[in-house]
Amino acid sequence: MAAVTLQDVAVRAGVSQATASRVLNGSSRIPGEGVADRVRAAARELGYVPNAQAQALARASTGLLGLIVHDIADPYFSSIARGVQAAARAARKQVLLAGTDRDFDIEREAVSTFIAHRADAIVLAGSRQSGDLDRELEAEFGRYRANGGRVVVVGQPLAFGGAVEPENHFASAELADALVASGHRQFAVIGGPGNIRTSVDRRNGFVEALGRHGLTPLVEVSGDFDRDGGHSAARRLAAALDLHPGAMTPPVCVFAVTDVMAIGAIAAWRELGLSVPRDICVAGFDDIPTLRDHTPSLTTVILPLEEIGVRAVDLALRNHDGADDLRERIPGRIVLRDSTKLS
């Protein structure tokens, strides 16, 4: 059986094909209700299914929103993605998702694909390696925005587009202040790669705050921005401090720049026979959902990760002049838990 065409509907309703298209594809130029009702009735009777691309062209909107994350398996990004999906659903949008593993080529392909599908907006979630886009991608975004597309970044702002920016530097400083106030005086740092802005901001905020108290980290090590990176860095840190059970009283307090790295670090120290917080203390950053089941409970900076995703979509879809370049800063909240408790 041949598929029912728009022309079939037009003939049944006694109107032109252009008129039938305007009614069924959601154009703002809809004819009188009597004509529109006749066209819709004809479509129902014939079982006509409107073409999605034609609907998008008529409405100047596809109802699609592109989301690019570094690693959807990371609880930080999956939580943001959950917020994006919830906000998109509320706005009757569908989310196209791409993970890049911090690869510029993959990111560029994802952006090109989203633009080819005429996504209404694109959200880039995660710290950029250099703080900037490569020129080819920046030019592509320029053309996209010139045609009405919206771009929002979760992280440090770009030279254009909106941004939802966690206060990484300030919140890390507040964490250092809180740990000093709780009695800690010896510190170490597990940082991420030096070319990732989030890692640098969090490390700098923490170390600068320690300096204001007349303190400096005993050791600083770095690793990849994931669980395994934290695990590897923690073993190197333990060797540098010559840690063994009962070696340091009071214990050194380690700041890991993400919760995921802190979890990896705790696993490494457990393998070495070290107990948290008896032999070594640790604090993280983000308050990822998996911490609810972690023992010991982890001191961290709470970021409202799902809310960050919601706000990114709100900026992307906000409909007034200047919305495309708005910036929102997201404060962190310190919570001291068992992992930094001094006996």
Contacts of 127 (CB under 8 A, 6+ apart): 155, 156, 196, 197, 198, 199
Question: Lowest mean pLDDT: which of 1-5, 21-25, 236-240, 287-291?
Answer: 1-5
Q: What is the distance between the alpha carbons of residues 125 and 54, in angstroms, rounded to a whole number?
A: 30
Domains, the chain, in order of start with CATH, read 6-59 (1.10.260.40), 64-166+306-331 (3.40.50.2300), 168-303+334-340 (3.40.50.2300)
Number of helices (H), then strands (E), in the chain: 12, 12
With a cut of 80, say whether residue 130 has pLDDT above it: no
Question: Position of tokens 């392909």?
Answer: 109
Residue 107 pLDDT grade (very low, low, confident, very high; cuts 50, 70, 90): confident
With a cut of 50, say whether residue 1 has pLDDT above it: no
If DSSP codes are grouped into helix, strand and coil, which group holds residue 103?
coil
With a cut of 70, say whether residue 109 has pLDDT above it: yes
Choose among 205, 183, 196: nearest CA to 223. 196
Give the per-residue pLDDT at 104.
80
Phi, psi of 253 (to 5 degrees): -105, 120
Residues 282-309 have pLDDT tens digits of 999 999 998 988 999 999 999 999 999 9
With a cut of 80, say whether residue 134 has pLDDT above it: no
Residues 70-106 have pLDDT tens digits of 889 899 999 999 999 999 999 999 999 999 888 888 8
Average pLDDT, the chain: 88
Residues 192-231 have pLDDT tens digits of 998 888 999 999 999 999 999 999 999 999 999 899 999 9
Q: What is the distance between the alpha carbons of residues 288 and 311, in angstroms, rounded to a whole number?
A: 18
Choose among 343, 242, 234, 246: nearest CA to 284. 234
With a cut of 50, say whether residue 57 has pLDDT above it: no
Tell me how far CA of residue 84 lies from CA of 69, 107, 152, 302, in angstroms: 11, 18, 12, 19
* 287 sits in which H/E element: none
Give the per-residue pLDDT at 4.
75
With a cut of 90, say whether residue 318 has pLDDT above it: no
Is residue 267 within 8 Å of 235, Cβ to Cβ?
no
With a cut of 70, say whether residue 128 has pLDDT above it: no
Question: Average pLDDT for residues 307-333, to the nearest whole number?
Answer: 85
Phi, psi of 209 (to 5 degrees): -65, -40
Question: Average pLDDT for residues 225-253, to the nearest whole number?
Answer: 91
Give the per-residue pLDDT at 101.
86
User: What DSSP string runs through 153-221?
Assistant: EESS--SSSEEEEE-HHHHHHHHHHHHHHTT---EEEEE--TT-HHHHHHHHHHHHHHHHTT---SEEE
Give the per-residue pLDDT at 331.
96
Residues 27-45 have pLDDT tens digits of 656 677 688 889 889 988 8
Residue 281 pLDDT grade (very low, low, confident, very high; cuts 50, 70, 90): very high
Residues 146-184 have pLDDT tens digits of 778 889 999 888 778 889 999 999 999 999 999 999 999
For the chain, give the percent of residues with pLDDT over 90: 57
Cβ density class 101-135: b for 16+ within 10 Å, e for less: ebeeeebbebbeebbeebbbbbbbbbbbeeeebee
Question: Lowest mean pLDDT: which of 2-6, 64-68, 153-157?
Answer: 2-6
Q: Between these two residues, 19 and 174, which has the higher pLDDT value?
A: 174
Give the per-residue pLDDT at 60.
59
The gap between the terminal CA atoms of the chain, to the nearest Å, is 79
Reported pTM: 0.80
Question: Average pLDDT for residues 319-334, to the nearest whole number?
Answer: 80
